[in-house]
Structure 1
Amino acid sequence: MTRMQLTDEEWVFIEPYLPIGGFGPYPARLRAQFEGVLWRFRTGGQWREMPAEFGAWPTVHNRFRQWRDAGVFEALLEGMVAEAAKRGEVDLSLVSVDSTTARAHHDAAGMHLGHDVITALEKAAVEEEKAREKGATRRDKTGRTPDATPSGKSDDVSGAGTACG
């Protein structure tokens, strides 16, 4: 066995969260398959590199997908948090949300803008958009617009605009 196996105490906690279908998995292989999923994400290895002690890699991968789709990992996480709370081991000081993950409206920070300020900001945004559009249609020194092809020819590939002779 690898050095990254679950302890018996951890397995007793995890096992009830794993569904057992009418045709399997066999309870004896269930732990090995779950540990195979853990191995995959702990090591960052590919599914095909999984040691044989966890079972056939396609079986473990399919089991992972079934558990993922059934919401097993979310339920397990919620159960772990509930168990830790029951034991008094929840430390919310480790939870952090910063402005890269959540943005608040300016009113949430106590900032209040007057109607005239909002109107001025909206007007400035419209003027900026007009300036952007005007810059996109400017011609460079060769007389081509920025979206013309380098040869100066039309992008018409149908041949409708060419004369045959």
Structure 2
Amino acid sequence: MTDRQWELLAPVIPRAVTGRPRVAGRQVVNGMVYTSRTGISWRDLPERYGPWQTVYTRFRRYAIGGMFPRALQLIQPGADAAGDIDLLVQIYSTIVRAHQHAAATG
């Protein structure tokens, strides 16, 4: 993640108020991005991103807490205005169901 990307995302990342010292937010978010891009399991996450349990736990908390949609709403307008949005659609095909007649075979 570049400094500019982190600068845009940092205000949306929740901060802990109490408890033990945390792994840096940027490090953890980079771990989330790495896992998403490579498709590896959480347990195979390289140590440079922090303990895999920490990265996974924060990913779940962020997802449940709605952090990802808030980040998108914050970042998307500026990126769109700058022409930085390139649409890419991915479909995880194991969950896409089609009717038997969808194949359009004769």
TM-score (norm: length of structure 2):
0.71
Q: Specify the code of the residue in structure 2 equivalent to 1:89.
A: G
Alignment of 1:121-132 (within 5 A): none
**For the Cα contact (< 8 Å) 1:37–1:64, is it kept in 2?**
yes
- Give the superposition deviation at 1:83: 1.6
What is aligned with 1:74? 69
Does the 8 Å CA contact 1:81/1:90 hold for their aligned counterparts?
no
CA root-mean-square deviation: 2.6
Which letter does structure 1 place at the counterpart of 2:7? V
How far is the alpha carbon of 1:82 from its aligned partner? 1.9
Q: Paired residue for 2:25, among 15, 23, 30?
A: 30
1:41 aligns to what? 36
- Amino acid in structure 2 at the alignment position of 1:61: Y
Q: 1:89 and 2:78 equivalent?
A: no
Higher Cα Rg, which structure: 1
- Distance in 1 (CA, whole Å) between partners of 2:84 and 2:2 is 21
1:47–1:57 Cα contact (<8 Å) kept: yes
User: Any runs of at least 4 consecutive aligned residues in structure 1 with deviations exceeding 6 A, and if so which?
Assistant: none
Q: How many positions carry a matched residue from both structures?
A: 88
Give 3-state SS (helix, strand or coil) of 2:61's partner. Answer: helix
Unmatched 5+ residue regions in structure 2? 88-106
1:9-33 per-residue CA deviation (whole Å, 9 max, x = no partner) reads 1111111110102126857611100
Shift of 1:41: 0.3
Gaps spanning 5+ residues in structure 1: where? Answer: 1-5, 95-165
Residue type matched to 2:34 in 1? W
Aligned to 2:53: 58
1:89 CA drift (Å)? 2.8
Cα distance in 2 for residues equivalent to 1:50 and 1:77: 24
Q: Per-residue CA shift, 1:80-112, capped at 9, x if unaligned?
A: 222224x35377xx6xxxxxxxxxxxxxxxxxx
**Structure 1 or 2: larger helix share?**
2
Deviations 1:24-58 (A, max 9, x none): 68576111001000011010000000000000000
TM-score by length of 1: 0.47
Overall identity of the aligned pairs, in %: 30
The verdict on how the C-alpha distance between 1:81 and 1:45 changes in structure 2, with shifts beyond 3 A counting, is: same
